[in-house]
Amino acid sequence: MILTDTHTHLYYQQDNEKRAALIQRCLDNDVKRLFLPNVDAASVPQVFDLVKEYPEMCFPMLGMHPCSVKDGWEEELAIIRDSKKDHTIYAIGEIGIDLYWDKTTLAIQVEAFRQQINWAKSLKLPIVIHCREAFDEVFEVLEQENDDDLHGIFHCFTGNAEQAQRAINLGFYLGIGGVVTYKNGGLDKILPQFDLSHIVLETDSPYLSPVPHRGKPNESSYLIYVAQKVADLYQTDIQTVANITTANSKQIFGV
């Protein structure tokens, strides 16, 4: 069985021994593919260092997290883009709009999002979208930029059924993580309305730990709990969920 974590910040763990233990726990739980989004220029080397250490298991993305879009963002994004020249990447992400922390930066978040969408298109790569309290704003940009080259993942999808269908219609998969295990998360009622062919799994570690580890630091090995909950919701087995969601990830990322 091969489980794919399509979104993990495992590289935040800089202690070599602890990081090796995290990787071993992944392997012990059949989590054998890890996709790593940076968040800013400073985190780019951390991503590539982990990829270099575990090249068969770790796959990098590049992008600027919307919460990193502040004054001077153009220069930082240029640094991020320039870092690609020495590396293979598999997506542009995580990018998007976040209005939870700061609504005053909406205009520059939209501009950064749009620029990175077009960067992804030029590279024929998927995008991985961070969307927090900004579905209307994200969809507005996506619908303006929509064409055959636009595709990817709605990371940490927590929207309603209408928003899920809208994302799918635009060529996006739903990234499902620990929230699916939360009693009042709402995804248990929404997900079964959509075929597993539209879903990928993720942890967003070290954030959003699934039950039974909720409230503690998350890690990619905990993807096993997400997969089991999804299997329960679809009344199938975890092997089937692993097979379909990993196949979906290969379709998205091309690896």
Domain region containing 81: 3-253
What residue spans of 10-134 are helical by DSSP H? 16-28, 44-53, 73-82, 106-123
Residue 87 assigned ligand-binding role: no
Our count of domains for the chain comes to 1
Contact indicator for 66, 98 with CB cutoff of 8 Å: yes
pLDDT tens column, 66-112? 999 999 999 999 999 999 998 999 999 999 999 999 999 999 999 99
Other Cβ atoms less than 10 A from the Cβ of 215: the count is: 6
Regarding pTM above 0.85, the answer is yes
CATH number for the domain that contains residue 17: 3.20.20.140
Residue 204 assigned ligand-binding role: yes
Residue 155 assigned ligand-binding role: yes
d(CA 74, CA 221) in angstroms, rounded, equals 35
pLDDT tens column, 174-215? 999 999 999 999 999 999 999 999 999 999 999 999 999 999
Contact indicator for 116, 91 with CB cutoff of 8 Å: no
Question: Count of alpha carbons within 13 Å of 140, Cβ hemisphere only?
Answer: 10
Environment class of 146 (CB within 10 Å of its CB; exposed 0-12, middle 13-18, buried 19+): middle
Residue 151 assigned ligand-binding role: no
- Rounded to whole angstroms, the maximal C-alpha distance in the chain is 49
